Amino acid sequence: MANLPEKINPLGIVGPCSAGKSTLISRLHKLGFVCRHIAQEHSYVPEMWLKIVNPRVLIYLDVTYEISMQRKHLNLTSQEFEEQKKRLSHARQNAQVYLHTDPYSPEEVFRLVMASLEDLGIHPSP
């Protein structure tokens, strides 16, 4: 899927557990965006996001450990969470859209990402 036609506007979504990736992807899909959840947080390959998807736009959703644990009951230590962030560092450095989701509701995250995509001239596929 790395070579999707540009008109499809593939978006790559990365971030640590409970940052809001799945919820955002669901909302974007409903509008016609082609999105790929890239499980970069589980990979030791820094450029996995690029090799698997090579997205037109990379969106990085961030969250603190404390908020992540409030959102979902995960069996994840703070050290494991920090390891996820290390694995995500290359994606974070290369993301065109970055959003720290702690203070936002899913609806607010969606609206903020949509505004960023609009600023980049990215629209859903017809």
End-to-end CA distance of the chain: 19
Q: pTM of this prediction? A: 0.87
CB 124 within 8 A of CB 31: yes
Q: pLDDT-derived band of residue 20, with 50, 70 and 90 as boundaries?
A: very high
- Compute the distance between CA of residue 124 and CA of residue 29 in angstroms, rounded to an integer: 9
Torsion angles phi and psi, residue 109, rounded to 5: -60, -45
The domain segmentation of the chain, as residue ranges, is: 11-102
pLDDT (tens digit per residue) in 31-87: 999 998 887 676 677 787 877 788 999 999 999 999 999 887 778 899 999 998 998
Q: Which residues contact 85 (CB under 8 A, 6 or more apart)?
A: 16, 41
As a whole number, mean pLDDT of residues 100-106 equals 97
Query: Which 3 state secondary structure label does DSSP give 44?
Result: coil
